[in-house]
């Protein structure tokens, strides 16, 4: 039996614990310091939204494969072989990662360790964190006059909220940073049932593993900001960013992922990790010019979006009834950390607008932030019938069920779409003022160039 402890029942820790518990030989103890969360989990209720997680949690509880406790000392009494630390590492005001939760866990681990254990850091942390964790544990053991063997490893997590279960159960790759064969063996044994080919298990030194996580997130963020900047140019020069993306993505070296132009990325990872990477450069007297620009472009997208709205309404939003579709930083999650919706709502309120918002999952979290300053609708349709104009900030699938007839209910017949959900030509032809990102200057004749030059039939004949 592999006895595993997971610290932190957040988006990463709970998925980690529940997924490990699905495998035959594993027994998982999850440590969560928030007692309310523990109570909810013991009752089989997931305290946040992640599709499918509630079902797997219930199954793990039913088969007695998982338990929840509120302190690491309790979990260490069970002598786990491996402890995964999945605590949060949010941004400090200066952009650095706040590692206080990581250090606290390391102290506690050193204070209550009884037998050999592999300490694995799964949180996203700057290079050098594992080294410091190792020192802290040693210091604590020395204070206790104990000579207990342990290892510290890094195992960054690449799951995406909204798709977290598949990402964990069938990962593209598992990256581990290890300093000993024993640590590598324990992690390989644990992850083997989740991967199909041995090449998917990538082992390296701890520093490389820590940097790999930042490198991956920064690369994805770079692709988004790159497309967003191109989208701004596309609007100026009469190009369609969708067509440009298509034309680029068919190149196998480029591929289609993370090339969607829009209002920019948010969430608990990209913004903070990009900033932390810039800080890591600074500490090593290296100005990370590219990554720094990625974050600046991302912030600019929000400002440009709001400016576009203000320009249309001649700098006067006072008393305007504004509808918002989508509050979560992306679909299939209730996570609003660094979501564009927060900045946009703040600015709308500053301008004196009245906001009516709808999101299938994230309304509660936004309400916790804004209280009664904004109102919430119980459906996307309700928003359309009660506002002057609409802003779209998250690409929830259900929004695609609406059409021009529905949008005619908007008093001003105006939409600012930060996620490019609808076809600008159709919208404009139907009398809707439709503003999107990188597709604003396309015209009727640009819709399908194959139709423009040849009939569809002719094209099919050529390709036969
Ligand atoms: N959310 C994601 O999609 C994602 C993906 C990959 C990596 N990451 C990284 O994983 C880490 C965790 O992210 P998250 O989104 O799960 O964070 P989170 O804030 O949702 O969860 C962290 C949890 O840890 C608990 N906690 C903190 N200190 C504790 C302690 N001493 N003992 C027990 N519990 C404690 C908190 O109460 C909280 O429930 C971060 O470093 C993040 O960057 C997140």
pLDDT tens for each residue of 318-377:
999 999 999 999 999 999 999 999 999 999 999 999 999 999 999 999 999 999 999 999
What is the location of CATH 3.40.50.720 in the chain?
Answer: 2-204, 216-446
Supply the pLDDT for residue 451. Answer: 45
Residues of the chain below pLDDT 70: 445-464
The angle at the Cα of 128, spanning 126 to 131, to the nearest 5 degrees, equals: 135
Structure tokens at 318: 């006072």
Supply the pLDDT for residue 322. Answer: 98
Supply the pLDDT for residue 460. Answer: 62
2-204 topology per CATH = Rossmann fold (3.40.50)
Ligand 1 centre from 286 Cα, in Å? 29
Question: In whole angstroms, what is the distance from residue 98 CA to residue 443 CA?
Answer: 48
Strands (E), 100-145: 117-121
**Which tens digit of pLDDT belongs to each residue from 265-288?**
999 999 999 999 999 999 999 999
- What is 216-446's CATH number? 3.40.50.720
Active site residues: 269
Nearest residue CA, atom 44 of ligand 1?
12
* Torsions phi, psi for 91 (to 5 deg): -80, 140
Enclosing H/E stretch for 356:
strand 354-358
Question: In whole angstroms, what is the distance from residue 463 CA to residue 450 CA?
Answer: 13
Supply the pLDDT for residue 232. Answer: 98
Ligand 1 centre from 101 Cα, in Å? 9
DSSP 77: T
Work out the burial of residue 199: count CB atoms within 10 Å of its CB; fewer than 13 is exposed, 13-18 middle, 19 or more buried.
Answer: exposed
| Residue 10 near ligand 1, beta carbon < 6 Å | yes
Supply the pLDDT for residue 444. Answer: 77
Report the chain's C-alpha Rg in angstroms.
25
| Residue 159 near ligand 1, beta carbon < 6 Å | yes
Please answer whether residues 319 and 352 qualify as being in contact, where contact means their C-beta atoms are separated by less than 8 angstroms: yes
> CA end-to-end span of the chain, whole Å?
59
| Residue 101 near ligand 1, beta carbon < 6 Å | yes
| Residue 15 near ligand 1, beta carbon < 6 Å | no
Tell me how far the alpha carbon of residue 112 is from its chain's centroid.
33
Please answer whether residues 111 and 144 qualify as being in contact, where contact means their C-beta atoms are separated by less than 8 angstroms: yes
Supply the pLDDT for residue 89. Answer: 97
Question: In whole angstroms, what is the distance from residue 92 CA to residue 275 CA?
Answer: 10
Question: In whole angstroms, what is the distance from residue 452 CA to residue 283 CA?
Answer: 55
Ligand 1 centre from 14 Cα, in Å? 9
* Torsions phi, psi for 19 (to 5 deg): -70, -40
Ligand 1 centre from 106 Cα, in Å? 15
| Residue 104 near ligand 1, beta carbon < 6 Å | yes
DSSP 90: P
Query: Which are the contacts of 408, defined by CB distance < 8 A and separation ≥ 6?
Result: 430, 431, 432
């Amino acid at each position: 039996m592999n006895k595993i402890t997971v610290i932190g029942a957040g988006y990463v820790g709970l998925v980690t614990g529940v997924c490990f518990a699905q495998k035959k030989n594993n027994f998982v103890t999850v440590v969560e310091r928030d007692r309310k969360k523990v109570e909810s989990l013991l009752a089989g209720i997931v305290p946040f939204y992640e599709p499918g997680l509630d079902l797997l949690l219930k199954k793990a509880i039913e088969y007695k494969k998982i338990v929840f406790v509120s302190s690491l000392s309790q979990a260490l009494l069970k002598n786990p072989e491996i402890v995964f630390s999945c605590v949060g590492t949010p941004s400090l005001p200066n952009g650095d990662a706040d590692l206080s939760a990581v250090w606290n866990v390391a102290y506690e681990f050193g204070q209550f360790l009884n037998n050999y254990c592999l300490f694995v850091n799964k949180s996203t942390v700057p290079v050098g964190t594992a080294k410091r964790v190792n020192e802290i544990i040693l210091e604590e053991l020395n204070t206790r006059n104990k000579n207990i063997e342990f290892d510290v490893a890094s195992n960054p997590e690449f799951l995406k909220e909204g798709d977290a279960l598949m990402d964990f159960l069938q990962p593209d790759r598992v990256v581990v940073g290890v300093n000993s064969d024993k640590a590598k063996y324990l992690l390989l044994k644990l992850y083997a049932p989740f991967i199909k080919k041995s090449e998917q298990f990538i082992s390296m030194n701890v520093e490389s593993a820590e940097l790999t996580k930042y490198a991956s997130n920064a690369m994805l963020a770079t692709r988004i900001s790159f497309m967003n900047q191109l989208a701004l140019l596309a609007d100026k020069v009469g190009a369609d960013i969708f067509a440009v993306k298509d034309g680029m993505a068919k190149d196998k070296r480029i591929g289609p992922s993370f090339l969607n132009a829009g209002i920019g990325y948010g969430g608990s990872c990209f913004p903070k990790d990009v900033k932390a990477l810039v800080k890591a450069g600074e500490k090593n007297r290296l100005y990370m010019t590219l990554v720094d620009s990625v974050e600046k472009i991302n912030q600019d997208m929000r400002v440009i979006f709001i400016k576009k709205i203000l320009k249309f309404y001649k700098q006067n939003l006072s008393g305007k009834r504004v509808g918002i579709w989508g509050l979560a930083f992306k679909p299939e999650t209730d996570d609003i950390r660094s979501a564009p919706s927060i900045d946009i709502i703040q600015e709308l309120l500053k301008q004196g607008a009245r906001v009516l918002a709808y999101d299938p999952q994230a309304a509660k979290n936004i309400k916790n932030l804004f209280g009664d300053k904004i109102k919430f609708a119980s459906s996307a349709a309700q928003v359309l019938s009660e506002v002057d104009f609409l802003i779209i900030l998250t690409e929830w699938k259900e929004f695609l069920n609406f059409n021009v007839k529905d949008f005619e209910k908007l008093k001003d017949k105006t939409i600012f779409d930060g996620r490019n959900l609808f076809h600008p030509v159709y919208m404009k032809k139907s009398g809707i003022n439709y503003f999107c990102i990188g597709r604003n200057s396309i015209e009727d004749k640009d819709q399908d160039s194959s139709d423009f030059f040849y009939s569809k039939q002719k094209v099919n004949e050529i390709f036969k």
